[in-house]
C-alpha cells in the first residue's frame, strides 16, 4: 500500500518590510532647485518678491511630493505633502508677528531711554522732555487692582463649578454667563463701569478703580476657564484618597486639588493679565487721560500706556508719533515679560513626577 505524497507548494511571495527612502538632503535640494526656478519668473515677467516666494512654495511642495511618490510609497508622498503644508502655514503665521515686532522695535527703540521711562508728560518748563512714567504707573496700578478683583472671584467660581456644582442648574447658568462674558466687547465693559460709577458717585466721576472694574469684567472669564480646566485635570484618585483618610472636602480642595493645579492656575492668571494690559477703550471712558502721575486709584484721572499711545497718535505730529512708538515697544516688552513669567511659574509649580 503506497502513501500519497503531497504536491510541492510554491514558495510564498516575500513582502518587503522596508522601502526606498529619499536621502535626508532631498528637501534641501528641492528647495534650492525650486527657488532658482521660481526666480526666473520675476526676472522675465517683472513679478515682485511675494510672487517669487509663493511660486517657490508651490513648486517645492509639488516637486517634493512627486519625487517621493516615484521613489517612495504613496503614503510617504502624502506625508511629505502634508508636512510641507503644515510648515507653510507656520511660516505664513509668522509673517505678521515678525513684521509687527520689526516695526515696533525699529520705530520705538531709538526713543526709549532713561529719560523716556522716568519722566511724565507733565511739563514744568518748555524744554522739559516728555516720558511715560505716569502711564507705566497707571498701568501697574489699574492692572493690580483688576487682578485683586478678578483672581479670587474667578478661582472661587471655578472651584464651585468643578467641585460643588456638577450638573446642577446654577452651575450651568454660571457656565453660560462665563461664555457670554468671554465674547463681550471691551467697550461694553467700559460702558458698564462708567454707568455704575456714575450711578453711585455722580456724573463726571473718573478714577483708576473704574478702569480696574471694567478690566476685571474681561479678566474674570479667562481666569474661570483656565482654572476650571486645571482643576478638571487633577485625578479623582487624589480626591478619593483624601476622602478615604477622613479629610473634609474644603481641606481636600485647598491642600490637594489647588496645590496640584497651582502651576496651571498661576499661568492662566498671568496670561489673563497680559490679555487685559493692552486694553484702551474701557479706560478712555472711565479712567480718563492725564499728564500727571497718579498713584491713587480712587481719586482723579489715571493714564495707562495703551491710552497714552492712542492720545499721541491722535495728535498727529512726528514727535507724538515717536513717543507713541516708544510706548508701544515698552508695552510689548511688558507683555513679553508676563508671558515669560507665566512659563517659568508654570514649570516651577508644576507637579513633580517621579518613577
Tell whether pTM > 0.75. Answer: yes
Contacts 24+ apart (CB under 8 A), 252-260: 253/159, 253/163, 257/163, 257/231, 260/234, 260/351
3-state class (DSSP) for residue 300: strand
Instruction: Tell which residue, 162, 164, 166, has the closest CA to residue 224.
Output: 162
pLDDT of residue 223: 93
pLDDT of residue 1: 46
* Residues contacting residue 61 through CB under 8 Å, at least 6 positions apart: 81, 84, 85, 88
Render pLDDT for 14-33 as a digit per residue (tens, 0 to 9).
555 566 778 888 888 888 88
Residue 300, beta-bridge partner list: 207
Q: How far is CA 210 from CA 135, 181, 217, 303, in A?
A: 16, 18, 11, 12
Average pLDDT estimate for 126-133 = 82
Residue 207, beta-bridge partner list: 300
Average pLDDT estimate for 321-329 = 90
How far is residue 235's CA from residue 306's CA, in Å, rounded to a whole number? 42
Cβ atoms of residues 242 and 324 within 8 Å: no
Instruction: Locate CATH 1.10.3720.10 in the chain.
Output: 133-348
Render pLDDT for 50-71 as a digit per residue (tens, 0 to 9).
788 888 888 888 888 888 888 8
Q: Count other C-beta atoms under 10 Å from residue 284's C-beta.
A: 18
CATH topology for the 133-348 domain: MetI-like fold (1.10.3720)
Amino acid at each position: 500500500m503506497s502513501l500519497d505524497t503531497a504536491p510541492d507548494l510554491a514558495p510564498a511571495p516575500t513582502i518587503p518590510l522596508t522601502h526606498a527612502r529619499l536621502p535626508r538632503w532631498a528637501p534641501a535640494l528641492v528647495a534650492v532647485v525650486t527657488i532658482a526656478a521660481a526666480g526666473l519668473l520675476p526676472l522675465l515677467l517683472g513679478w515682485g518678491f511675494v510672487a517669487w516666494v509663493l511660486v517657490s512654495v508651490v513648486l517645492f511642495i509639488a516637486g517634493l511630493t512627486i519625487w517621493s511618490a516615484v521613489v517612495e510609497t504613496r503614503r510617504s508622498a502624502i506625508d511629505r505633502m502634508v508636512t510641507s503644508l503644515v510648515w507653510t502655514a507656520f511660516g505664513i503665521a509668522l509673517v505678521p508677528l515678525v513684521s509687527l515686532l520689526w516695526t515696533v522695535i525699529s520705530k520705538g527703540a531709538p526713543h526709549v531711554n532713561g529719560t523716556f521711562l522716568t519722566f511724565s508728560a507733565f511739563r514744568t518748563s518748555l524744554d522739559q522732555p516728555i516720558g511715560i512714567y505716569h502711564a507705566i504707573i497707571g498701568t501697574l496700578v489699574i492692572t493690580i487692582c483688576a487682578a485683586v478683583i478678578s483672581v479670587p472671584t474667578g478661582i472661587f467660581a471655578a472651584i464651585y463649578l468643578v467641585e460643588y456644582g456638577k450638573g446642577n442648574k446654577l452651575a450651568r447658568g454660571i457656565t453660560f454667563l462665563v461664555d457670554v462674558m468671554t465674547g463681550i466687547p471691551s467697550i461694553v465693559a467700559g460702558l458698564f463701569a462708567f454707568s455704575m460709577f456714575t450711578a453711585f458717585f455722580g456724573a463726571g466721576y473718573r478714577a483708576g478703580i473704574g478702569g480696574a472694574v471694567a478690566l476685571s469684567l474681561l479678566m474674570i472669564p479667562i481666569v474661570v476657564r483656565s482654572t476650571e480646566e486645571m482643576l478638571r485635570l487633577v485625578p479623582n484618585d487624589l480626591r478619593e484618597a483624601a476622602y478615604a483618610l477622613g479629610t473634609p472636602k474644603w481641606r481636600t480642595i485647598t491642600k490637594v486639588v489647588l496645590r496640584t493645579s497651582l502651576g496651571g492656575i498661576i499661568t492662566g492668571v498671568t496670561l489673563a493679565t497680559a490679555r487685559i494690559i493692552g486694553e484702551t477703550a474701557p479706560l478712555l471712558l472711565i479712567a480718563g487721560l492725564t499728564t500727571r502721575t497718579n498713584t491713587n486709584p480712587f481719586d482723579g484721572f489715571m493714564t495707562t500706556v495703551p491710552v497714552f499711545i492712542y492720545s499721541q497718535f491722535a495728535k498727529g505730529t512726528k514727535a507724538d508719533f515717536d513717543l507713541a512708538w516708544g510706548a508701544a515697544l515698552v508695552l510689548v516688552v511688558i507683555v513679553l515679560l508676563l508671558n515669560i513669567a507665566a512659563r517659568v511659574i508654570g514649570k516651577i509649580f508644576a507637579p513633580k513626577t517621579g518613577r
